[in-house]
Amino acid sequence: MKLYASRALRVGILLTSVFTTSAVFAHAHLKNQTPAADAQVTAVPQALTLNFSEGVEVKFSGVTVTGPQQTQIPVGAVKLNEKDNTQLIAPLEQPLKSGDYTVDWHVVSVDGHKTKGQYHFSVK
Protein backbone atom coordinates (compact mmCIF):
# COMPACT_ATOMS: atom_id res chain seq x y z
CA MET A 1 0.00 0.00 0.00
CA LYS A 2 2.85 2.38 0.84
CA LEU A 3 4.41 1.65 -2.56
CA TYR A 4 1.29 2.91 -4.38
CA ALA A 5 1.07 6.03 -2.20
CA SER A 6 4.73 6.81 -2.82
CA ARG A 7 4.33 6.33 -6.57
CA ALA A 8 1.17 8.47 -6.64
CA LEU A 9 2.98 11.21 -4.73
CA ARG A 10 5.84 11.19 -7.24
CA VAL A 11 3.44 11.34 -10.19
CA GLY A 12 1.60 14.23 -8.53
CA ILE A 13 4.83 16.15 -7.98
CA LEU A 14 5.92 15.52 -11.57
CA LEU A 15 2.60 16.75 -13.00
CA THR A 16 2.64 19.82 -10.77
CA SER A 17 6.17 20.73 -11.84
CA VAL A 18 5.31 20.30 -15.54
CA PHE A 19 2.31 22.62 -15.34
CA THR A 20 3.97 25.27 -13.17
CA THR A 21 7.16 25.26 -15.25
CA SER A 22 5.26 26.18 -18.41
CA ALA A 23 3.62 29.09 -16.56
CA VAL A 24 6.99 30.30 -15.26
CA PHE A 25 8.43 30.46 -18.78
CA ALA A 26 5.43 32.30 -20.26
CA HIS A 27 6.41 35.59 -21.88
CA ALA A 28 4.77 37.93 -24.35
CA HIS A 29 6.51 37.03 -27.62
CA LEU A 30 6.04 39.11 -30.75
CA LYS A 31 3.89 37.00 -33.10
CA ASN A 32 3.52 39.43 -36.01
CA GLN A 33 3.68 43.12 -36.81
CA THR A 34 2.60 45.74 -39.33
CA PRO A 35 4.62 46.65 -41.29
CA ALA A 36 5.94 43.10 -41.30
CA ALA A 37 9.53 42.30 -40.39
CA ASP A 38 11.86 42.65 -43.38
CA ALA A 39 9.02 44.02 -45.54
CA GLN A 40 9.43 46.69 -48.20
CA VAL A 41 6.33 48.87 -48.10
CA THR A 42 5.19 51.49 -50.58
CA ALA A 43 2.31 52.84 -48.50
CA VAL A 44 3.75 54.89 -45.63
CA PRO A 45 2.37 53.58 -42.32
CA GLN A 46 0.76 56.01 -39.87
CA ALA A 47 1.26 53.59 -36.98
CA LEU A 48 3.06 50.39 -36.08
CA THR A 49 0.97 47.47 -34.86
CA LEU A 50 2.64 44.74 -32.80
CA ASN A 51 0.77 41.55 -31.88
CA PHE A 52 1.98 39.49 -28.93
CA SER A 53 1.36 35.95 -27.72
CA GLU A 54 -0.28 37.21 -24.52
CA GLY A 55 -1.64 40.42 -23.04
CA VAL A 56 0.76 43.29 -22.29
CA GLU A 57 0.79 46.16 -19.80
CA VAL A 58 0.86 49.37 -21.85
CA LYS A 59 2.24 51.43 -18.92
CA PHE A 60 5.46 49.42 -18.98
CA SER A 61 5.78 48.95 -22.73
CA GLY A 62 7.30 51.08 -25.47
CA VAL A 63 8.50 51.35 -29.05
CA THR A 64 11.36 53.34 -30.58
CA VAL A 65 11.96 53.73 -34.30
CA THR A 66 15.29 54.56 -35.90
CA GLY A 67 15.45 55.62 -39.54
CA PRO A 68 18.07 56.36 -42.17
CA GLN A 69 21.35 57.78 -40.84
CA GLN A 70 20.31 56.58 -37.34
CA THR A 71 17.66 59.33 -37.12
CA GLN A 72 15.27 58.90 -34.19
CA ILE A 73 11.67 58.92 -35.48
CA PRO A 74 9.11 60.48 -33.09
CA VAL A 75 6.58 57.93 -31.85
CA GLY A 76 3.43 58.93 -29.98
CA ALA A 77 2.19 57.30 -26.80
CA VAL A 78 1.70 53.57 -27.32
CA LYS A 79 -1.75 52.20 -26.64
CA LEU A 80 -3.54 48.88 -26.62
CA ASN A 81 -6.24 47.89 -29.04
CA GLU A 82 -9.44 48.48 -27.03
CA LYS A 83 -10.68 44.97 -27.82
CA ASP A 84 -7.39 43.07 -27.70
CA ASN A 85 -4.76 43.51 -24.97
CA THR A 86 -2.26 41.52 -27.03
CA GLN A 87 -2.09 44.23 -29.70
CA LEU A 88 0.12 47.27 -29.10
CA ILE A 89 -0.28 50.30 -31.38
CA ALA A 90 2.47 52.92 -31.76
CA PRO A 91 1.41 56.00 -33.76
CA LEU A 92 4.10 57.63 -35.88
CA GLU A 93 4.20 61.42 -35.40
CA GLN A 94 5.63 62.18 -38.85
CA PRO A 95 5.49 60.53 -42.27
CA LEU A 96 8.34 58.13 -42.95
CA LYS A 97 10.62 58.87 -45.89
CA SER A 98 12.19 56.28 -48.15
CA GLY A 99 14.78 54.20 -46.36
CA ASP A 100 15.42 51.45 -43.84
CA TYR A 101 13.88 51.50 -40.37
CA THR A 102 14.59 49.62 -37.16
CA VAL A 103 11.89 49.06 -34.55
CA ASP A 104 12.99 48.34 -30.98
CA TRP A 105 10.24 47.27 -28.61
CA HIS A 106 9.92 46.26 -24.99
CA VAL A 107 6.85 45.00 -23.15
CA VAL A 108 5.80 43.66 -19.80
CA SER A 109 3.21 40.92 -20.08
CA VAL A 110 0.16 40.84 -17.83
CA ASP A 111 1.88 38.19 -15.71
CA GLY A 112 4.86 40.54 -15.11
CA HIS A 113 7.49 39.10 -17.45
CA LYS A 114 9.63 41.50 -19.49
CA THR A 115 10.57 40.87 -23.09
CA LYS A 116 12.17 42.96 -25.78
CA GLY A 117 13.14 42.67 -29.40
CA GLN A 118 13.87 44.35 -32.67
CA TYR A 119 12.87 44.09 -36.30
CA HIS A 120 13.47 45.96 -39.57
CA PHE A 121 11.41 47.15 -42.51
CA SER A 122 11.92 49.60 -45.34
CA VAL A 123 9.87 52.23 -47.12
CA LYS A 124 10.30 52.55 -50.90
Compute the radius of gyration of the chain from its Cα atoms: 21
pLDDT beyond 60 at 5:
no
Asked whether residue 10 is domain-assigned, the answer is no
Spatial contact of 66 and 78, defined as CB atoms under 8 Å apart: no
Mapping DSSP to helix (H, G, I), strand (E, B) and coil, where does residue 124 land?
coil
Inside any domain, residue 50: yes
> Quick check: is 5 in a domain?
no
- In a domain, residue 2? The reply is no
Over residues 20-43, the pLDDT tens digits come to: 434 445 789 999 999 999 999 999
Determine the structural domain holding residue 78 and report its residue range. Answer: 27-123
pTM above 0.85?
no
Q: Cα–Cα distance between 32 and 28 in angstroms, integer?
A: 12
Q: Decide if pLDDT at 63 tops 70.
A: yes
Residue 9 lies in a domain: no
CATH at 39: 2.60.40.1220
Q: 17: pLDDT confidence band, cut at 50, 70 and 90?
A: very low
Task: Please list, in sequence order, all residues whose beta carbon lies within 8 angstroms of the beta carbon of residue 76, skipping any fewer than 6 positions away.
Answer: 90, 91, 92, 93
Q: Is residue 70 part of a domain?
A: yes
Q: Is the pLDDT of residue 6 over 90?
A: no
Asked if residue 11 is part of any domain, the answer here is no
70-116 tens-digit pLDDT: 999 999 999 999 999 999 999 999 999 999 999 999 999 999 999 99
**Could you tell me if residue 21 is inside a domain?**
no
Number of domains composing the chain: 1
CA 39-59-19 angle, 5° bins: 80
Closest CA to 32 of 69, 68, 82, 84: 84
